[in-house]
């Protein structure tokens, strides 16, 4: 009996240790195994704590990501295969998570990628332990004309401050890895975007941005809590000068990246992405491309067979999204 009891104890210990090792492998492996949301047990915090996440936000209530959002997430997943790619969605709840793969085609497409995770965007949780919490508890979203953008501006700051990584807008197509860890993206000389930026967790610059977000809050001015915030905070650290050629600037260990890195086509020329080029640019100096969807008020889209620059980008950097686009066109 004593020998049998000893064997049972050894067996139980082996099972316990195996379980722990399995959990550790889930949280530390460089190859991510994504399971449908209703089946996996990883929380947003567990995934974010892996470090170096690429974070996307959807602050509208829509649940079907359009092709450009899908392309942005897919391209990041392909370029950063050893990093978690997280899409936070405001309209997602535990109830809607149950039938995502059957109801929404884009979710099946994105969730088939091993390092892509899709989670609900819960702002009341994100803003905990940040200067933004008091602001969030006082603001009335229904009275804010720019709430979709303002809530996104706030959420991206809180997430990057807490967990570190890279934030990207959902109209950014990744084409090669960004080598810098602490960086802001120049939209033009002396002016910073907040559509792409990256920092380690608990970086003082992001904390200062959150404090200034609250101190200088004005929801009636578009971008006041976004690119204008990043620009005025960067100006407190260094004297911004014009870019010469394709060099980057450095400001107290923060890289201020040349407009060519993400904005080789400036916003006044945004529609060129949806035009046919005699010779397509190579974007050799770019890490990613911002397609200026905010400017796209006529809602130009990628059409299969149109031979536009955007279509070529889809084919190259998000081929699964592009194939889905073709299939949907045939179905229609």
pLDDT tens string 92-107: 886 655 455 556 667 7
Q: Where are the alpha helices (DSSP H) in 198-256?
A: 204-215, 227-235
Pairwise pLDDT comparison (22 vs 222), residue with the higher score: 222
Cα atoms in the Cβ-side hemisphere of radius 13 Å centred on 299:
2
Crossing angle for the helix pair 309-317 and 319-331, to the nearest 10 degrees:
120
User: What is the spatial distance between Cα 308 and Cα 51, in angstroms, rounded to a whole number?
Assistant: 36
Cβ density class 61-99: b for 16+ within 10 Å, e for less: eebebebbbbbbbbbbbbbbeebbbbbbbbebeeebbee
pLDDT in tens, 148-198: 999 999 999 999 999 999 999 999 999 999 999 999 999 999 999 999 999
Q: What is the mean pLDDT of the chain?
A: 87
Q: Which residues pair with 55 in a beta bridge?
A: 86, 167
State how far Cα 226 lies from the chain centre.
Answer: 15
- In this prediction, residue 63 has a pLDDT band, given cuts at 50, 70 and 90, of confident
pLDDT one-digit tens code per residue, 233-280: 999 999 999 999 999 999 999 999 999 999 999 999 999 999 999 999
pTM: 0.86
Looking at residue 141, its pLDDT comes to 95
The class of domain 44-330 in CATH terms is alpha beta
* Residue 199 binned pLDDT confidence (cut-offs 50, 70, 90): very high
29: pLDDT strictly greater than 80? no
């Amino acid at each position: 009996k004593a020998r049998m009891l000893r064997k049972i104890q050894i067996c139980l210990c082996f099972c316990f240790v195996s379980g722990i090792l399995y959990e550790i492998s889930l949280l530390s492996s460089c190859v991510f195994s994504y399971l449908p949301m209703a089946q996996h047990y990883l929380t947003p915090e567990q995934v974010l704590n892996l470090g170096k996440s690429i974070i996307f936000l959807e602050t509208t209530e829509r649940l079907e990501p359009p092709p450009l959002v899908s392309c942005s997430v897919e391209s990041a997943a392909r370029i950063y295969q050893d990093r978690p790619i997280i899409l936070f969605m405001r309209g997602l709840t535990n109830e809607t998570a149950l039938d995502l793969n059957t109801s929404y085609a884009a979710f099946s497409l994105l969730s088939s990628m091993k390092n892509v995770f899709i989670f609900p965007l819960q702002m009341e949780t994100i803003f905990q332990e940040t200067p933004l919490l008091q602001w969030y508890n006082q603001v009335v979203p229904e009275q804010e004309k720019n709430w979709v953008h303002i809530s996104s501006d706030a959420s991206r700051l809180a997430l990057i401050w807490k967990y570190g990584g890279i934030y990207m807008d959902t109209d950014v197509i990744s084409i090669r890895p960004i080598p810098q860890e602490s960086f802001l993206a120049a939209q033009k000389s002396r002016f910073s975007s907040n559509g792409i930026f990256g920092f380690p967790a608990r970086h003082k610059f992001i904390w200062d941005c959150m404090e200034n977000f609250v101190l200088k809050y004005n929801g009636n001015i578009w971008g006041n809590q976004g690119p204008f915030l990043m620009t005025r905070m960067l100006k407190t650290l260094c004297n911004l000068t014009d870019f010469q050629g394709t060099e980057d600037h450095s400001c107290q260990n923060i890289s201020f990246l040349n407009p060519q890195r993400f904005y080789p086509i400036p916003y006044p020329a945004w529609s060129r992405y949806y035009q046919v080029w005699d010779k397509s640019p190579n974007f050799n100096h770019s890490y990613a491309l911002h397609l200026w969807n905010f400017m796209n008020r006529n809602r130009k889209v990628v059409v299969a067979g149109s031979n536009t620059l955007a279509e070529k980008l889809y084919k190259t950097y998000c081929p699964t999204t592009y194939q889905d686009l073709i299939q949907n066109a045939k179905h229609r």
